[in-house]
Copies of this chain bind each other. A is one copy, B any other.
Amino acid sequence: MVLLRFALIWAFKFVFCVARRTGDEDELLPMPDLPGKNGDIVDDPVSDVNPVTEEMFSSWALCILLFLLISALWSSYYLTQRRITAVHETVLSIFYGMVVGLIIRLSPGHYIQDAVTFDSSYFFNVLLPPIILNSGYELNQVNFFNNMFSILTFAIPGTFISAVVLGIIIFIWTALGLEGINISFVDALSVGATLSATDPVTILSIFNAYKVDPKLYTIIFGESLLNDAISIVMFETCQKFHGSPARISSLFEGIGLFLMTFMVSLLIGLFIGILVALILKHSHIRRYPQIESCIILLIAYETYFFSNGCHMSGIVSLLFCGITLKHYAYYNMSRRTQITIKFIFQLLARLSENFIFIYLGLELFTEVELVYKPVLIIVTAISICVARWCSVFPLSRFINWLYRMKTVRSMRGSIGNSISIPDEIPYNYQAMTFWAGLRGAVGVALAMGIQGEFKFTLLATVLVVVVLTVIIFGGTTAGMLEVLNIKTGCIDENDNSDDEFDIEAPRPSAPVAGFDSMLQPYSDDESHAHASMALKTPAVSATLLSDLQPPPTPSPINASASRVSLDTQQLKETFGNIFFNSDSQWFQNFDEQVLKPVFLDSNLRPLKENGNQSQTIFDPSSDQ
């Protein structure tokens, strides 16, 4: 706590210093906080400011923002170190942002205030892509595909139901005219879409810390990822109908537009991911790992901007580009690029996440034009719970029903009735999914795009509701895990397969090396020690290893099949869970037999030949 206090005192000092400066030299802070204040220097009235002075001011503003980031990260370290679960990193980020925002608001001069307002273009172009890309790249693909049906059900109809319910409630409330607000149904639906994007950051970092059952983790992760994409597409579809009278035909047009956008974006992402894999396969660029990693990073970003530029959804493209990159291109990369790309994605994503929450906090005080309507905020806050309820519970029932039908049919009545069949998504998982519906920065960024007379009222509402959900739901998640009796401390073998330099060899004794450092802080360092031991004398160890018979391990096909979470595996053994895995099964076979041979480099020892070497080892002899 001493450190926290120290950090806060410093933040105060910095900001006051800047604020005083700004107050004194009133004309000198054109737009100092963000890295890319740019081109319009020519027609900007303040462009005559000496760049050196200007640079100094932007330096201070950046200094403050970086300092806030460092504080947030340090607090995060402190919290995990002391195992404090009541307060979460994101909540602290918002809090720091709010404190500094308040100081900026109270201090004289409005330049900093103008400068730190949340800018949606900045958010969408700089902060969001790394998070989405990293999510796609880090996705546990086997778990994801195994739970595909549940995820898609929650994501697509779920978001739709949530947005519509929320839209209707808000429309009815505003139509009552109690607060002098009157918005069209399309606008209400826009707000609904905005507030249907659940946040993939906070809840998942808590889940990670507790090692929640991978199945639940995957469902909530997948849902919140696709959620974002879908509510963005929905919002944009709604905005296209802004101002025009609502018709039934628009509904179908909207749905058509939505599906088209989603599918095309998905295809762009897949296409570029595969393209990268093929480029890597057919060029020798892996000999120059520095260039290789730059190019992969750039192409991933290019996907995002290209898709956005084509009026498609960059977020969907990027997500699927990330997934494809990991699934195919990864195996064609040089070892160094594999490591670089992974670490860079993680680092950028982490910085972006923290930055976003700091910004959300700042925004509450520094956005001057916001109009706060307390009753509307309360109504909205309650109605997002209602909307979430309406989407999670009925859809869970539907999934469970379908699962039961399928299982019964597959067993052909060998047991009899369906009473003994456990639910695909038991009640406590449903409740947790409901609880995990906290809203994030995507909603706020979307809300910046709301048009019309009541723009700032709606924006303020969305902002406050988002912050409230993060604080309330985020702060109580750890408690809810206990209350709902959710299985924690699960060892997801696959989850750590990429940690510590991507050691992907199947571990016969999983608990030896790969625990998350949060629960077993020393094992992490031990594995470091091992890794660096192994690294230090590569020639020696390689020579030694080549004399050894590798330990008998399952072949990769079996290995990837064994990558199912423990829970699912138990179920499968008992009930022959055909429906929920059959879809992914045929794809896995097709993938192994057709796609991988086409996309992966045969010069890299292929996955199937050597069961014990599920690693991309470059074979120099085959290439020369």
A236 touches B52 (CB 8 A): yes
Asked if residues A302 and B37 are in contact (CB atoms below 8 Å), the reply is: no
Cross-chain contact A531 with B527 (CB below 8 angstroms): no
In the complex, which residues 275-309 of chain A have their Cβ closer than 8 Å to any Cβ of chain B?
Answer: 283-291, 293-295, 297-299, 301-302, 304-306, 308-309
Instruction: Please encode chain A, from 216 to 255, with 1 for each CB lying within 8 Å of some chain B CB and 0 for all others.
Output: 0000000000000000000010010000000000000000
Cα-based distance from A544 to B70 in the complex (angstroms) = 41
Do A284 and B35 form a contact, CB below 8 Å, given A305-B59, A308-B59, A343-B343?
A: no
**Docked complex Cα distance between A297 and B77 (Å):** 15
Interface status of A153 (Cβ within 8 A of chain B): no
Residues of B within 8 Å of A309, CB to CB, are 56, 59-60, 63
Closest to A369 in B: B42
Residues of B contacting A178 with CB < 8 Å? none
Residue among A311, A350, A522, A537 having the largest count of chain B Cβ atoms under 10 Å: A537
Digitize A523-534: 1 where CB-to-B-CB distance is under 8 Å, 0 elsewhere: 011111111111
Asked whether any CB of chain B lies closer than 8 Å to the CB of A179, the reply is no
Asked if A311 and B344 make an inter-chain contact with CB atoms under 8 angstroms apart, the answer reads: no
Output the nearest chain B residue to A449 by Cβ-Cβ distance: B51
Complex CA–CA separation, A194 to B368 (angstroms): 41
**A504 to B535, alpha carbons, bound, how many Å?**
9
CB of A117 closer than 8 Å to a CB of B:
yes
- Complex contact B532–A347 (CB within 8 A): no
Q: How far is the CA of A114 from the CA of B40 in the complex (A)?
A: 6
- Which A residues between 72 and 125 are near B, CB-CB below 8 angstroms? 73-74, 76-77, 80-81, 114-117, 119-122, 124-125
A343-387 residues with Cβ-Cβ distance < 8 A to B are 343-344, 346-347, 350-351, 368-369
**Chain B: minimal CB distance from A444 (Å):** 12
Q: Pick out which of these stretches binds chain B: A155-163, A559-567, A616-624.
A: A616-624
Residues from chain B with Cβ under 8 Å of A616 in the complex: 532
A592 to chain B, nearest CB (A): 21
Contact yes or no, B545 A80, CB < 8 A = no
A196 proximal to B (CB < 8 A)? no
Residues of chain B with a CB closer than 8 A to A288's CB:
77, 80-81, 517-518
- CB-CB < 8 A to A518: which residues of B? 288
Interface-located stretch among A334-342, A473-481, A484-492: A334-342
Stretch in A26-34, A166-174, A416-424 touching the partner? A26-34
A512 close to B (CB within 8 Å): yes
A597 within 8 A of B: no
Residue A573 at the chain B interface, CB threshold 8 Å = no
Copies of this protein chain in the complex: 2
CB–CB B56/A126 < 8 A: no
Q: Decide: A66 and B301 in contact? CB cutoff 8 A.
A: yes
A54 at the interface (CB under 8 A from B): yes
Given contacts A343-B343, A532-B615, whether A36 and B122 have CB atoms under 8 Å apart is yes
* A540 at interface by CB-CB < 8 Å: yes
A426 within 8 A of B: no
Which residues on B sit within 8 Å (CB–CB) of A411? none
Instruction: For residue A388, give the distance in angstroms from its CB to the closest CB of chain B.
Output: 26
Residue A1, interface by CB 8 Å: no
Report whether B525 and A291 are in contact in the complex, using a CB–CB cutoff of 8 Å: no
Closest Cβ of chain B to A547, distance in Å, is: 10
Bound-state CA distance A517–B287 (Å) is 7
A70 touches B298 (CB 8 A): yes
- The answer to whether A453 has its CB under 8 Å from any CB of chain B is no
Contacts of A513 in B (CB 8 A): 538-539
Q: Are B42 and A114 in contact (CB under 8 A)?
A: yes
Q: Which residue of B lies closest to A314 (CB)?
A: B59
The answer to whether B335 and A39 have CB atoms under 8 Å apart is: no
Give which listed residue, B528, B542, B615, contacts A530 with CB less than 8 A.
B542
Q: Please determine whether B624 and A522 come into contact, CB atoms closer than 8 angstroms.
A: yes
Binary contact readout A14-55 vs B (1 if CB under 8 angstroms, 0 otherwise): 000000000000000011011111111111000000111011
Whether B533 contacts A59 by the Cβ 8 Å rule is no
Distance A551 CA – B502 CA, assembled complex (angstroms)? 28
- What is the bound-complex CA distance between A623 and B529, given in angstroms? 14
- A34:B42 contact, CB within 8 angstroms: no
Query: B340 near A347 (CB under 8 angstroms)?
Result: yes
Q: Smallest Cβ distance from A618 to chain B, in angstroms?
A: 4
Partner of A347, one of B116, B297, B369, B504: B297
Contact B537 A550 (CB under 8 A): yes
Of chain B, the residue at the smallest CB distance from A125 is B35
Residue of B nearest to A550 (CB): B537
Kindly state whether residue A462 has any CB partner on chain B within 8 Å.
no
- Decide if A62 is an interface residue (CB 8 Å cutoff): yes
Q: Is A69 an interface residue (CB 8 A)?
A: yes
Task: Give the residues in chain B near A538, CB-CB below 8 Å.
Answer: 500, 503, 513, 527, 530-531, 533-534
Give the residues in chain B near A114, CB-CB below 8 Å: 39-40, 42-43
Asked whether any CB of chain B lies closer than 8 Å to the CB of A501, the reply is yes
B125 near A62 (CB under 8 angstroms)? Answer: yes
How far in angstroms is the closest Cβ of chain B from A463? 15
Contacts of A512 in B (CB 8 A): 539
Chain B residues within an 8 Å CB radius of A39: 31, 33-34, 114-117, 119
- Whether A239 contacts B70 in the complex (CB less than 8 A), given A288-B77, A535-B535, comes out as no
A-B contact pairs, 16 of them (CB 8 A): A35-B36, A43-B114, A59-B304, A59-B305, A59-B306, A63-B305, A70-B302, A77-B291, A284-B521, A286-B525, A287-B517, A343-B344, A525-B620, A530-B538, A533-B538, A533-B541
Kindly list 12 other residue pairs between chains A and B, CB separation below 8 angstroms, not including A336-B528, A541-B545. Answer: A35-B122, A36-B126, A56-B311, A59-B305, A59-B309, A66-B305, A76-B291, A77-B285, A507-B539, A525-B623, A531-B535, A544-B545
> Which 10 pairs across A and B sit closest by C-beta, in order of nearness?
A36-B36, A34-B36, A39-B115, A59-B308, A34-B38, A530-B538, A525-B618, A51-B449, A63-B305, A340-B343
